[in-house]
A and B are shown apart, each in its own frame.
Chain A
Amino acid sequence: DGGITQSPKYLFRKEGQNVTLSCEQNLNHDAMYWYRQDPGQGLRLIYYSQIVNDFQKGDIAEGYSVSREKKESFPLTVTSAQKNPTAFYLCASSITGNQPQHFGDGTRLSIL
């Protein structure tokens, strides 16, 4: 079965701690994306990557970092610089930038 897997489903962060959210896809898609969703709101783009070893900032990149060393993987690190990290994080992939995106089931991040 092809798809996107996000892990963990729930994550808790302590003050001053960096945490990394995993996103893996086996759809052979070139493009991958990270979004943040706050309650009752739409999705805001954090980072995206069109191809391996390349990525661009989205609308709310401050306090986050990513890497794209493999086509299948696009991990997101929420750093201690992100002062309000509590949110639902969604990873997605697509064949190219304008095509429909396939989403994982999200990681819910909370502060301890």
Chain B
Amino acid sequence: SQQGEEDPQALSIQEGENATMNCSYKTSINNLQWYRQNSGRGLVHLILIRSNEREKHSGRLRVTLDTSKKSSSLLITASRAADTASYFCATTSPYGNKLVFGAGTILRVKS
């Protein structure tokens, strides 16, 4: 069963613009993670935010978490053509030991 759902399904922006992707989930979580997947490749871990954290930064990435709304957002600032990829959120439950992935957002950054 897939817990996370990303929104939008696809996003196309110009280089230099910011990109925002949203993730909603259904049950309590231990943490929420964001991953990037380039076409035909494996996933790469970007950032992890714990259930007791509200915001986290890593370079041009900013992740927020609102546990009351069961949602998270990933903001990529000053996007580059190299940011073109699919982005997935994944959650872990307080009791489980595995990730549950959403269907992903396809981001295209045009140069």
Identify the A interface with B (CB < 8 A). 4, 6, 31, 33, 35, 40-45, 48, 50, 58-59, 90, 92, 96-106
A98 touches which one: B31, B45, B101, B103 (CB < 8 A)? B31
Tell me which residues across on chain A come within 8 A of B102, comparing CB atoms: 42
Interface size on B, residues (CB 8 A): 24
Q: Which of B33, B43, B96 contacts A97, CB < 8 Å? A: B96
> What is the CA–CA distance of A45 and B100 in the complex, to the nearest angstrom?
8
Nearest CB to that of A97 among chain B residues? Answer: B97
Tell whether A104 pairs with B2 under 8 Å between CB atoms, given A33-B98, A48-B98.
no
A106 pairs with B41, CB closer than 8 A: yes
Q: Is B44 an interface residue (CB 8 A)?
A: yes
* A101 lies within 8 A of B99 (CB): yes
List B14-72 residues whose CB lies under 8 Å from chain A.
Answer: 30-31, 33, 40-45, 48
> Which B residues lie at the A interface, using CB under 8 A?
1-2, 4, 30-31, 33, 40-45, 48, 88, 92, 96-104
Whether A100 and B41, one on each chain, are in contact in the complex, defined by CB atoms closer than 8 angstroms, is: no
Sampled A-B contacts (11; CB under 8 Å): A33-B99, A41-B103, A58-B98, A92-B42, A97-B92, A98-B97, A101-B43, A101-B99, A103-B43, A104-B42, A106-B42
Q: Which of B42, B45, B98 has the most CB of A within 10 A?
A: B42
